Amino acid sequence: MKFAAFRLRHGTPAEIERVRVGLVSTEQDNIAEYGVSTNLTEAGVLTLLNLQLAKQPLPATTTTHSLSAIQLLAPIPRPRRNIFCVGKNYFDHAKEFGTSGFDSSTSKPGDEIPKDPIIFTKPPESVIGPGANIVIPQQVSNAVDYEVELTVIIGKGGKGISQANAMQHVWAYTAINDVTARDWQQRHKQWFLGKSFDTFCPMGPWVVTADELDVNDISVKCWVNQELRQSSNSKDLIFNIPKLIETISAGITLYPGDIIATGTPAGVGLGFKPPKYLAPGDIVKLEIGGVGVLENPLVMG
């Protein structure tokens, strides 16, 4: 199933402002709105997950809207806590980034491939939805980059989760653009600041429940202005999703709705000679196989 958070494009101000959730049919190009009376401004589709965890039926659908009549939002408009992110988790990108001069985790040649997952986070305030502007902060950074990432939504929480049981804790998948200010990443010798600016975490277009995808064979692609820059597959991950869940949950309790972005493949702007950083007017399009397309424009802020 594909669940989305959205607003109407037309109606009274109150109708347009209200955040709604629904069941997406890409075949019929529409979304069936669930009759949910609670405030969905922050939780979005997690309201449906919470019902499932409580073994309650999903609400009845009330109205069907054409996808052209709605504005999709990030499926979880404001996550309850930071997004977990994974650095250098594709072999080709680990080599690309490890030899770039920007990688503080590589101390010597041959160190490019990590022996254990590298985990950092992005704050909830960085999240935006499909079509929303990624803002290049004027006089703050001139090296803004893109990173397409297959992203996991945790369903059942837990701590000390084994790899063998990890997939039982996955509810759904979505796409994230792990937008990065490379100059800040290099200057501060760590990744949090340069990846956490406002608007630096586009998410969407919706979530797809885990039963619909083969997690070991999901394509991961990114275009900038219709130029294909990144093209890979989840089978090329250095550390697979069970390993990531085991690593994070070893000392940190995972909760329903937690988000794990699994890393990006080669082809980021930093990897070109000279680098191809993003500029105002650029359009970044991500596509996760079986999930959908997430597209965002760049503006100067």
Whole-number pLDDT of residue 275: 95
Apex 83 CA angle, 70 and 39, nearest 5: 45
Whole-number pLDDT of residue 107: 55
Whole-number pLDDT of residue 189: 78
Whole-number pLDDT of residue 31: 98
Whole-number pLDDT of residue 186: 83
Q: Would you say 6 and 15 are in contact if contact means Cβ atoms under 8 Å apart?
A: no
Whole-number pLDDT of residue 111: 61
Tokens of 146: 């893109």
Gyration radius from the chain CA atoms: 19
Rounded distance, CA 57 to CA 200, Å?
35
Q: List pLDDT tens digits, range 13-36.
A: 999 999 999 999 999 999 999 999
Whole-number pLDDT of residue 97: 64
Considering the chain, what percentage of its residues have pLDDT values greater than 90?
87
Tokens of 169: 């804790």
Cross-sheet strand order for the sheet of 292-300: 134-136, 292-300, 283-288, 219-224, 227-233
Rounded distance, CA 255 to CA 81, Å?
10
Rounded distance, CA 99 to CA 2, Å?
39
User: In sequence order, what are the beta bridge partners of 25?
Assistant: 30
Whole-number pLDDT of residue 148: 98
Q: Is the peptide bond before 57 cis (omega within 30 degrees of 0)?
A: no
Q: Would you say 23 and 2 are in contact if contact means Cβ atoms under 8 Å apart?
A: yes
Residues sharing a CB contact under 8 Å with residue 269, sequence separation 6 or more, in sequence order: 145, 146, 182, 224, 229, 275, 276, 277, 278
Whole-number pLDDT of residue 105: 62
What are the structural domains, with CATH classification, of the chain? 2-72 (no CATH), 83-300 (3.90.850.10)
Rounded distance, CA 137 to CA 141, Å?
6
Burial (CB count <10 Å: 0-12, 13-18, 19+), residue 173: buried
pTM (predicted TM-score): 0.94
Whole-number pLDDT of residue 222: 98
pLDDT tens-digit profile, the chain (301 residues): 999 999 999 999 999 999 999 999 999 999 999 999 889 999 999 999 999 999 999 999 999 999 999 999 999 999 999 999 999 899 786 676 655 566 656 555 666 788 999 999 999 999 999 999 999 998 899 999 999 999 999 999 999 999 999 999 999 999 999 999 999 988 887 889 999 999 999 999 999 999 999 999 999 999 999 999 999 999 999 999 999 999 999 999 999 999 999 999 999 999 999 999 999 999 999 999 999 999 999 999 9
63-78 residues labelled b (16+ CB within 10 A) or e (exposed)? eebebeebebbbbbbe
